[in-house]
Amino acid sequence: MPKAIKKLAVLTSGGDSPGMNAAIRSVVRTCAYHDIECVGVYRGYEGLIEGDFKPMDARSVKGIINKGGTILKSARSKEFRTIEGRQKAFKQLIGANIDGLVVVGGDGSFTGALIFNQEFDFPVMGIPGTIDNDIYGTSHTLGFDTALNTVVDAIDKIRDTASSHNRLFFIEVMGRDVGHIALNVGIAGGAEEILIPEEDLGLDRLVESLNRSRKSGKTSSIVIVAEGDKIGKNIFELKDYVDENMEGYDVRVSVLGHMQRGGAPSCFDRVLASRMGVKAVESLLEGETNYMVGLLNNNVELTPLEKAIKGKSKINLELLRVSDIMST
């Protein structure tokens, strides 16, 4: 029989994403609903090592569901990657009578949680929080939907200037290893081309495709480039290549950067965070551990952390085809 849970901790780790606060709120309120204690851990695993804990009751999370970022702050901890660091963290948790931990973060954060469980048999549960949507076992990570809306808004604005000046814009969006953001915003923003790490288009095909667009009567173009795309060293090299190899283009580059991670979470992310927080806490109370809570076919379900870490989140091939057809 697993030990009955009377007190849980929640932390946010890795890159922040909109919806993390809504998830914290949900974890805290689900604990209050089931009459168990909850503490917030500041600065992710750094705060866990240092015992930077704060008791949280239902009222302590008022007014945060609509806020971007994370009130608990986030960090990428080097010390937690060492056994000494994890031992300190375990001592802090035991010293504070904490029986389980909810980790809101990405695959790096989940890897830490899984190792921690394997070493100390401490119950852990993951909630996927990253704008990249690069986690296996969920159709949506927290913050992905908000980031899509933020980026589409930016593309719409850039399009105004692109069409006023007959320009070609390369717009870089986040996505270190995957093209989920690029593919979706490319379709929604009416891009001519979408360059993603999963598909190596190559510079020649890019040039070909731009020529085709021009011949078909387009006077301005938008190309969405995922940060992790492998064509050229970076987005500026793409501009240089077009400048050198294509006549009559007025090319500009726009790197959207960290503005994509900020802002108020969308309705979808708030609801998703609330659902995931409930499931995470109730699963721990039922004695489950080493799982990630995810959205699968619109149901909130558990995936073993190991699978969530090792599995590949695949690009939707139908979206690729739609984007090709739309850029005709």
* Catalytic entry in 16, 52, 57, 132: 132
According to DSSP, the residues that pair with 125 across neighbouring strands are 102, 291
In the bound state with ligand F6P, the residue whose beta carbon lies nearer, of 130 and 150, is 130
| CA–CA dist 27, 71 (Å, integer) | 14
Any contact of residue 36 with ligand F6P (CB under 6 A)? no
Per-residue tokens: 122:
């401490």
- Binding residues for ligand F6P, total number by CB under 6 A: 10
Any contact of residue 140 with ligand F6P (CB under 6 A)? no
Q: Is 81 annotated as belonging to a binding site? A: no
Any contact of residue 261 with ligand F6P (CB under 6 A)? yes
295 φ, ψ to 5°?
Answer: -105, 115
Q: Rounded to the nearest 5 degrees, what angle is found at the Cα of 37, between the Cα atoms of 294 and 138? A: 5
Any contact of residue 130 with ligand F6P (CB under 6 A)? yes
55 to 84, contacts with ligand F6P by CB under 6 A? none
Alpha-carbon distance values, 221 to 149, 150, 186, 253, 327 (Å): 20, 20, 12, 12, 10
Q: Give me the least distance between CB of 130 and ligand F6P, in Å please.
A: 5
From the list 62, 70, 2, 73, the residue with the least C-alpha distance to 28 is 62
Per-residue tokens: 249:
């283009």
Any contact of residue 227 with ligand F6P (CB under 6 A)? yes
| 132 is an active site residue | yes
Residue stretches of the annotated binding site for substrate: 130-132, 167, 174-176, 227, 252, 258-261
Residue stretches of the annotated binding site for ADP: 25-29, 159, 190-192, 218-220
List contacts with ligand F6P (CB under 6 A). Answer: 15, 106, 130-132, 174-176, 227, 261
